[in-house]
Amino acid sequence: MILLDGFKVASERNLALRTVIDQEVEKYGRAPHLAIILVGENPASMSYVKGKGKACEVAGIKHKLHALLEDVKQSEVERLIQQLNEDPSVDGMILQLPLPKHLDENHLIDLISKDKDADGFHVINQGNLYQKRPTIHPATPKGIMTLLNAYAIPISGAHAVIVGRSNIVGFPVARLLMDQGATITVCHRQTKDLRSHTLSADILVVASGKPNLVTGDMVKPGSVVIDVGVNRVDGKLVGDVDFEAAKNIAAYITPVPKGVGPMTINALLENTHELYLSHILNQRFSK
């Protein structure tokens, strides 16, 4: 079994990005800038935001945290997003999810300018993705594709089974895998006999948020297993796949933590850099 070391691949890519950004700062006079909006004090969200900030520092991306109180009004979040949309020094913006229940998540995500949508969640960017037009890709699916490509895993012709159909992971990763030539099966809670599907997967992507949903007997021998899940069980982080059982059956598998998580952050940084370059070039052409 080969461990798909997301931490190593992401760290190398973040450092490589740093080299590029250092040269661009010389050339264009400023670094990329990511604004991070955090509402409330959800411990997992606070830890993700901290990780994103640290990675920005490694890559030479300026980042600013905009921390709002748990009971913040919808109008106040809207005002902040509008302000960041209008600020020419901001290249990318993310709204850390989940949000408190009283906030309208979809409305707020769509308020973020599609040209500053570092997470690739905006409805127009997602529409572009589904129509195979150039766009910012959602961070986790993009990170998964980068990881598969880093290990030269053949995708074209493979049967990829995705467990989960969310807008931020399952559905877009299915689209990206299909674009690279995989044949796709997408499973969800109404799927009958999940095991019969997972057992036929050359590439199995599990993004259900259910600890150990995929057991060893659900994994095809010699397959590639990508575990997106992040669950805290008895104070320990675990994925959606029973890693100890699956690692003896799969040819490649991601660990949790240090698998998909760091690749998601790397993709976020690369998206921010992409947005920065398009802003710099637009500013130059409009002069």
119 in catalytic set = yes
| Cα pseudo-dihedral 261, 265, 266, 269, rounded to 10 | 170
Q: How far is the CB of 86 from ligand NAP (least distance, A)?
A: 29
Q: Could you give the string, one character per residue 208-247, with x where binding to ligand NAP holds by CB under 6 A and - elsewhere?
A: xxx--x--------------xxxx----------------
Q: How far is the CB of 188 from ligand NAP (least distance, A)?
A: 3
Nearer to ligand NAP, 237 or 280 (CB): 237
Please compute, for residue 175, the number of CA atoms within 13 A of its CA located in the half-sphere on the CB side. Answer: 21
Nearer to ligand NAP, 92 or 229 (CB): 229
Neighbours of 273 (CB within 10 A): 23
Q: How far is the CB of 140 from ligand NAP (least distance, A)?
A: 4
Q: Could you give the string, one character per residue 97-136, with x where binding to ligand NAP holds by CB under 6 A and - elsewhere?
A: ----------------------------------------
| Spatial CA neighbour of 6 closest among 279, 284, 256, 281 | 256
Q: Of the ranges 23-31, 75-83, 158-166, 271-279, which one interacts with ligand NAP (CB under 6 A)?
A: 158-166
The reply to whether 255 sits near ligand NAP by the rule CB under 6 A is no
Contacts for 188 with CB less than 8 Å, ≥ 6 apart: 163, 164, 165, 170
The two tokens of residue 275 are 């947005």
Distance of CA 97 to the CA centre of its chain: 12
Count Cβ atoms within 10 A of the Cβ of residue 45 and give its class: 0-12 exposed, 13-18 middle, 19 or more buried: middle
Q: Give the integer Cα–Cα distance in Å for 157 and 197.
A: 17
Q: Measure the CA angle with vertex 45, ends 44 and 51; round to 5°.
A: 90
Among residues 5, 62, 91, 96, which one is catalytic? 96
Q: How far is the CB of 40 from ligand NAP (least distance, A)?
A: 17
The reply to whether 258 sits near ligand NAP by the rule CB under 6 A is no
Q: How far is the CB of 25 from ligand NAP (least distance, A)?
A: 28
Among residues 5, 117, 119, 227, which one is catalytic? 119
236 in catalytic set = no
The two tokens of residue 183 are 């044949």
Residues serving a catalytic function are 52, 96, 119
